[in-house]
Every structure is written in C-alpha cells, then in structure tokens.
Amino acid sequence: MAFMIAQRAFIKLYLITMVEQQRGYGYQMLEEMKENFKPFGYVPPQSEIYRALHELVHEGVFYRTKQLKGNDPRVDFQEIVLYHFTEDGPEKANLYKKQVKTDLDRCLGMLNKAAEDNYGV
C-alpha cells in the first residue's frame, strides 16, 4: 500500500466527474482544476492531466472524439479532443471511484491522526 493517494488517481477522479457533467476537453479541464485548487497553492501539471486522460482511454473508460472549436472556421481552426464514456465506461468509472474513495478516506484518517498525534488537535 502506498503512503498517500497518488496525484494521478486524484486527477483521474476529477476527470471522471467532469466528463460525467459533460465538461470536457483536456485543456479546459486542466484550467478548471487549476482554478479550483488555486486557494491550495496546488497547480496540477499539464502533463499529468494528459497522462491521466490517456490512461482512462487505455483502460476503456473513455473514448475520444475530435472536434473543431468554435463555429466559424475562418476565425478558429483549433482542434480539440473531447472525452466520453464508453458503453461500459460508467460501470468501470464507478468501480474506480469507489476504490479512490476508500483511499481518500484512508488518507484523511492518516492525516487527521497525524494532527492528533503531533499537535494534539
């Protein structure tokens, strides 16, 4: 068992939730997470988001579609990669989320214990 939850798992969890809510391409989700964790001084690195997305595709949770961003091709040709659940994606995702939840609680338990043991909080 690892010490703490892995950053990769943490990010994958958020990606799954964001795709559940129809929000979704890499850069956008990255920016959202950055904004999300600004108060904590945590800046998820770009490479980790893409690695996490690739893994989720590899694991059969997501599949990809490409799309041009914006409607007017003269204005914006930017191609983006959208992520969607595969047929059995939701099932797999829920299993994964369950596992991560367990780990999350375990970590919270350890950190709270550390606070008690070392600061008497």
Q: Give the residues lining the site for DNA (CB under 7 A).
A: 2-3, 6-8, 25-28, 30-31, 45-48, 50-51, 53-54, 64, 69, 77-81
The rounded radius of gyration (Å) of the Cα atoms in the chain is 17
| Closer residue to DNA in complex, CB, 4/95 | 4
DSSP per residue over 15-64, as a string?
HHHHHHTT--BHHHHHHHHHHHHGGGT----HHHHHHHHHHHHHTTSEEE
- The option from DNA, a copy of itself, none interacting with 86 (CB < 5 to 8 A, set by class) reads none
Burial 48-79 (b: 16+ CB within 10 A, else e): bbeebbebbeeeebbeeeeeeeeeeeeeeeee
| Residue 37 binding target from DNA, a copy of itself, none, CB below 5 to 8 Å by type | a copy of itself
Return the residues of window 19-78 that contact a copy of itself according to CB under 8 A.
36-37, 40-44
84 contacts a copy of itself (rule: CB under 8 A): no
**Closest of 66, 68, 64, 69 to residue 83, by C-alpha:** 64
- Cβ-based nearer residue to DNA, 80 or 104: 80
Residue 75 or 121: the one with the smaller Cβ distance to DNA is: 75
CB of 50 to a copy of itself, least distance (A): 16
